[in-house]
Structure 1
Amino acid sequence: MARTCLNSAQREGALAQLQKEKVDLLVVGGGVTGAGIALDAATRGLRVGIVEAQDWAGGTSQWSSKLVHGGLRYLYQFNFALVAEALKERGLLLTRTAPHLVKAQPFLWPLKMPVVERSYSAVGVGMYDMLAQFGGGGHNAVPRQKHYTKEGAKELFPGIRDDALIGAIRFYDARVDDARLVIDLVRTAVGYGALAVSRAQVTGYLKDGSRVVGAHIKDLETGRELQVQADYVINATGVWTERTQDLATADGGLRVLASKGIHIVVPKDRIQGQAGIFLRTEKSVLFIIPWERYWVIGTTDTEWTQDLAHPVTTAADIDYVLEHANSVLANPLTREDIIGTYAGLRPLLQPKTKGEDSSAKVSREHTVAEVTPGLAAIAGGKLTTYRVMAQDAVDFALTQRGGPRALEEHPCITETVPLVGGAGYAAWQTQKERVAADEGWSPQRVQHLLDRYGDELPVIIDLIAENPDLGAPLAAEPAYLRAEVAFAITHEGALHVDDILRKRVRLDYEHRDRGRSALPEIVDIAAPLLGWDETQREAEIRSYSDRVAAEAAAEQTSTDEQAVRARLGVPDLVPMA
C-alpha cells in the first residue's frame, strides 16, 4: 500500500527524482485526462512524471455532473461511435477497473406525448442498451430499459408532478465521485512508478533548438524552481490548454473554449424518488441525481470568458436550474432548500488549429496534436472516456518518439488494470457483516467505506488501531470518520484544508455551512500530520472561511463578471504563478 501513497513525503521524493532524472514522458495537468495518461504510460513501462498546478482534479474534473455515461443525447445527433465508445468505458469502470467508485444508477425519462414520443424514445434507449451489450467492457453491468405507465412511474418517483408525464422509460447509467476517481488514478500510476507532484506549475519549456525537451517548473508550496528533462511532453490542461501550449509557441496548437456548468445540491428528503430524472432542455439536458444523503441537480452550459481558476455560480444560474427542476417536481424547490452549489468549466474543443477560421460546431470529442516538436496537446472528450483519451495520447507520443514499432513494444493494458481499491472490492463486499461486528460499525458505515476505499478498507482499520481517536465520526458530519481525514493526508495527497473539504471529505457542497463547522476538528487532525504550527492552522481556517464567504457572495450576483469580482476579492492560500 505504501507504494501508492500520495503525501508530502512522496511529493518531496518525486520532486527530487524529477530534478536529477530524465523521464520518458512528462504529463502537464492532473485532471482525469492527465492522470489517465500517467497511468497508461506507467503501465507500459515508461518512466513518467506528472505535475499539476493546483491540487489533483483542481479544474474541470472535480466539478462535473459526477456521471459515467454513454451520452444518451448523442444518439439523437447520430454519433453512434462516440456513444458506443463511452458505453464500453462505462462497463469497464463498473465491472473491472473501479467498481468501488462507479455505481449503476437508474434514471427515469418522463414522457409527455403518447405513442410517438414513447416510440422514438424507446428506439433511442433501445439502441443505448444494444450498443452497451455489443460494445464489450461488461455489458451486463446494468439492467436494460423498462417502460412504465404514469401510475407505475409515480410509484418509482412519487415526487414527480402529475402533469409532468403520461408515462416514462427507466434506463441506467452510472455515477462517480469525480475527484476521487482522479486521485485514485494518480495513486495507481504512482504505484507503477510515476513521479507525481501537485501544486507544481509549468512556467516554461526547455528547448534544444525548436524541440521541447522538458519544462521549467515552480513548486508553488515553497517557491522553488526546477528543470525537468523529458523525451516528450504532453499538455493535458483542459481549459488551460492554449495558455500552457503558448509557453512553447504561439504558432499552431489546439483551440479550446470554456463552457460553465453549475449544479445545486439539496437534501435527500426534499425529493421523493427511487431513481434519478433525465430531462431534455432547450439547451442540453438536466439531471436530477440521487446520492446517499442528497440530490445533485444540473447542469447549465454557458460561455465563460472570466478567470479560469475561479468559475462561480450566479443567482441567474441557480434560477435556471431551479426552474427546470421544478417543471417536473411536485413540491417545488426554493433557494432555502439548497445546501450547496458548485461551478466548473468544460473544455470544448474547436475543430481547427489556431490561426484557422472555422464555423464548425464545437465538439466534446477529443483531439491529440503536436504543438511543436517534443510537445503534444490533448483536449476535448469527457470524464467517461478518459482511458481512451489517455491511450490515444500515449500512442501518439510513442509514435512520435519511435514510430509504429514503439507501439508494439509498449502496448496499452489499462483495460485490465484496476485502480487502487478496486481489485478486491467484490471480495470485501462479502465481509461487510463480519467487519461491522468486529469494528462496532453499522453495515451502512462499512458500505460507505467500501464505496470510497474498496479493498483498502483494512488501511482505514489499521489507522484506527494505531490511533483510536480516529475511529470517532466527525462531530459536524457523522457520515465521515476522523480516520478519513487522516487518510486524505497520508494516502490521498491532501496538503491543505481546502483539499480535504473540496475533494476528499466533500463537505464543501454536501453540508449547508460548506463544512465550516468541521474546520476546527479537521485542523486538529491535519496539523500534526502536516507539521502545521499555530500560525498555519489559523491561516488554513481563515483562507477556507473567506473563500466560502466569497462564493456565497458571488451567488447573490446576476452576472459572471460580478460573481468573479466577488470571488477574486479573496486571495488563494497557494496562488498559481
Structure 2
Amino acid sequence: MPRDPKTTRNTAARLGPQRRAADAAAVRAEKVDVCVIGGGVTGAGAALDAASRGLSVALVEARDLAAGTSSRSSKLIHGGLRYLEQFEFGLVHEALTERGLLYTRLAPHLVRPVPFLVPLEAPVWQRAYYGAGVALYDTLATALGHGRGMPWHRHLSKRAVRREFPSLRTEGLHGAIRYYDGQVDDARFVLSLARTAASYGAHVLTSTRVVDLLRDAREVVGVRVKDMESGEEYEIHARTVIAATGVWSDDVSQMFTDRPGLRVRASKGIHLLVPRSAINGDAGLILRTEKSVLFVIPWGGHWIIGTTDTDWTLDRAHPAASAADIEYLLDHVNTILDRPLKTSDIEGVYAGLRPLLSGEDEQTSKLSREHAVVEPMLGLMLVAGGKFTTYRVMAADVVDHAARRLGKVRPSRTADIPLVGADGFQVAWADRSGIARRHGTTVGVVEHLLERYGSLAREVLKLVDENPALGVSLTGAPEYLAAEVAYAARAEGALHVDDVMARRTRISIETPHRGTECVEQVADIMAAELDWDAAERDLEVRHYLARVDAERDSQRQPDDNTADAARLGAADVRIPHP
C-alpha cells in the first residue's frame, strides 16, 4: 500500500536530535546550492522558498529558531493600517495580500482574526477621516481576492463601545470603529516554516553560529560555523549564501571589507502581558501616542500591551525592558482605562528589536518598513527590513536574486504551499469532539492543541496515548501539557529548557512566576528525551532561573544602560561553560 504523502511529509518535517546530527553530516559532505544564515521568519521563509524550488539548502541559526526579533513581535499579521496615513499604499497592498494568503491558505491553523477598536474623540472629522482609512483598508483586502473571512469594519456608537469594551473610559468618547486584523504566535509560526522547509529537504541547523565567510578571491563560496553544543567548527560550502540576520546584518558586513552591506538600525519595542481579568473587553484597542502606536491586544487568557519604538545600540541578543519603558506603557494605557493598571498586574514583559533600513538620522518610528536585497560580494545576498507579515515576499525576492547565479531555477511556489499542520486542519477542527472522545481528553485540550499544531495535534495526543504520564498539565502553567515539552524536544528542534519556555510555549511571559514553578518538571521531561545526565539537567535549571532573575532585575532598572547591564548578568545557555 502506498504511503500517505501527508504522513511522509510530516515525518520529513521532524526536527529531532537525530535529524540535526544527520543534517550536520550532510552539509559537511556535500556542497549546497543555498546556505541561509538566520533562523528568524525571513531566513526560515527563504529556506522554504529555495527548497521548494528544488534547490539544496542549509539553514544555520546561532541560537534557536525565532530566538531574536521573530518571537518578540506584537503577534499580529496585519496590513499596517497606520501606513495609509504615510501614503505607503504599496506596502499596505502587499501586506494585505500576504495576510489573506496566510489566513485562507497557508496557515489557517496559526492565523486567526482579532477585532480592534479605534476610539473616536471627535464626533465628525475623526469618524470621517479614520472611517475612510479603514474602509480603504478593507476594500484593498477584499479587492485582492484573499481578504475573505476577515469581517468588514463597522462604526459603533458610544453605547455600543461601552458594551464591547466596558473598561474603556467614556469621557470624551464619541464611539469607535471596529475592524479586524490577524493574530499569530510568531515563534510557532517560524517553527512551522522551518519544519516545512525541512519537509522539502532543507538541512536545519540551530545552535550553529557562522564565524566566518569562505571566500575564493572576490567570491563568497560558503561559511565556517561553530556548533554551539559541541564546540566543533566546520565548513559549509555553498553556491550562494543568503544572510537574513535582521539586526545582526552589520555583523555579516564586518566579515568582508570590499563593499558595505545594508545599513540597519535596531528599534526596541517592549510589550507587557496582564491577565484577561485586569481589563474588561472583547476586542483590542489601537491608539496613537506621541512616539508610537499603542496596542491592547487580547491573547488567550491575557492582554498584550505594546509597544515602544526607541533606538537601541546595546546587546542585541537579549534586549532589556527598563522600568522607564514599563512606566511609559502603563502611563499611556491608563489614560484610556477606567481602572488603572499597576505594576503588580503585570505577568510578563518582553522586548524585541525591529531591523529598520537606515539612510539618514531619522527617528526610528519614521524609518521605512520596506525591505531591501543587496549583493555586496559575489555569491552573498543580504536581505533586511520589512515586517513579519511580508516575510514571504522578502524570501522570494532574495531567492530570486540568488537564482540569477544558480542558472535555471523555477519561480517561487510558496504562495501555494501550506505550512505543516495546515492540511487537514479544518477537518480536524470540525471533528474536535470526536478527537477528544477517541483520545480520552476534553474538547478544550484538543482545541488548544489544534490552534498550536494544526493537524499535527494528533502527534502530540499520540504521545499521551503511549505514555499517559505525559497527559498531565505543567505545574503553574495548566494550559500546557507535559506532552508538549516531549514533542518540542522530539520533533520541534528544542535543545534547551529556554527553547521550550520562551518559544515552543509562552510560559516565560504568560505566567507571573515566568516558568520557575515548572522548570524542574520541564527539565525532567527534556532530560528523558535528549539523554541528559543529572549534571546537564541541573545546569539547564540553573541557567533558566538565572535568566528569569536577570530579566526581573533589568525591568527594575531606570534606563537602557542599567537594564542592559542587569540582563547580561545571566549568560546565554549556548555559551560553553567550564
The normalised TM-score by structure 1 is 0.96
Letter in 1 for 2:456: E
Letter in 2 for 1:56: L
1:398 deviates by 0.5
Letter in 2 for 1:325: V
1:440 deviates by 3.1
Q: Deviations over 1:1-42 (max 9, x none)?
A: 221011211111111001011000000000000000000001
308, 316, 319: which one aligns with 1:308 = 316
Letter in 2 for 1:94: Y
Report matched runs for 1:5-20 at 5 Å: 5-20=14-29
1:371 deviates by 1.5
Residue aligning to 1:366: 371
Q: Does 1:27 align with 2:32?
A: no
1:307 deviates by 1.0
State the alpha-carbon separation in 2 of the partners of residues 151 and 125 from structure 1.
21
Q: Deviations over 1:339-359 (max 9, x none)?
A: 00000111011248xxxx999
1:250 deviates by 5.4
1:551 deviates by 0.8
Contact 1:249–1:371 (CA under 8 A) maintained in structure 2: no
State the alpha-carbon separation in 2 of the partners of residues 66 and 321 from structure 1.
17
Letter in 1 for 2:180: Y
State the alpha-carbon separation in 1 of the partners of residues 191 and 87 from structure 2.
34
Letter in 1 for 2:163: E
Residue aligning to 2:105: 96
CA distance change for structure 1 residues 244 and 67 in 2, over 3 Å: closer, same or farther?
Answer: same
Report matched runs for 1:25-424 at 5 Å: 25-136=34-145, 138-163=146-171, 165-249=173-257, 251-351=259-359, 362-402=367-407, 406=408, 409-424=409-424
Q: Deviations over 1:200-240 (max 9, x none)?
A: 01111111111000010110110000001100001100000
CA distance change for structure 1 residues 558 and 351 in 2, over 3 Å: closer, same or farther?
Answer: same
1:247 deviates by 0.8
Aligned residues: 567
> Which stretch shows the higher mean deviation, 518-527 or 469-478?
469-478
State the alpha-carbon separation in 1 of the partners of residues 90 and 576 from structure 2.
38
Letter in 2 for 1:574: R
Aligned to 1:143, what secondary structure does the other structure show?
coil
Contact 1:214–1:231 (CA under 8 A) maintained in structure 2: yes
1:123 deviates by 0.3
**What is the percentage of aligned positions where both structures have the same residue?**
49
State the alpha-carbon separation in 2 of the partners of residues 532 and 207 from structure 1.
38
Q: Deviations over 1:471-496 (max 9, x none)?
A: 11113211111111111111111000
Letter in 2 for 1:162: T
1:91 deviates by 0.7
Contact 1:212–1:375 (CA under 8 A) maintained in structure 2: yes
State the alpha-carbon separation in 2 of the partners of residues 117 and 465 from structure 1.
56
1:558 deviates by 1.0
Contact 2:476–2:511 (CA under 8 A) maintained in structure 1: no
Contact 2:231–2:576 (CA under 8 A) maintained in structure 1: no
Unaligned runs of 5+ in 1: none
Letter in 2 for 1:465: D
Q: Does 1:503 align with 2:506?
A: no
Q: Deviations over 1:311-340 (max 9, x none)?
A: 011000000111111111111100000000
Residue aligning to 2:7: none
Contact 1:235–1:375 (CA under 8 A) maintained in structure 2: yes
Letter in 1 for 2:268: K
State the alpha-carbon separation in 2 of the partners of residues 440 and 216 from structure 1.
50
Contact 1:164–1:327 (CA under 8 A) maintained in structure 2: no
Letter in 2 for 1:41: A
Report the RMSD for the aligned CA atoms in angstroms: 1.5
Q: Deviations over 1:39-94 (max 9, x none)?
A: 00010000010000011101100100010000000000011110011011011111
Aligned to 2:224, what secondary structure does the other structure show?
strand
State the alpha-carbon separation in 1 of the partners of residues 345 and 324 from structure 2.
16
Q: Deviations over 1:506-559 (max 9, x none)?
A: 110000010110011111111111111111111011000011101101111111
Contact 2:269–2:351 (CA under 8 A) maintained in structure 1: yes
> Which stretch shows the higher mean deviation, 127-136 or 170-179?
127-136
Residue aligning to 2:428: 428
Letter in 2 for 1:483: A
Letter in 2 for 1:129: D
Unaligned runs of 5+ in 2: 1-9
State the alpha-carbon separation in 2 of the partners of residues 250 and 498 from structure 1.
38
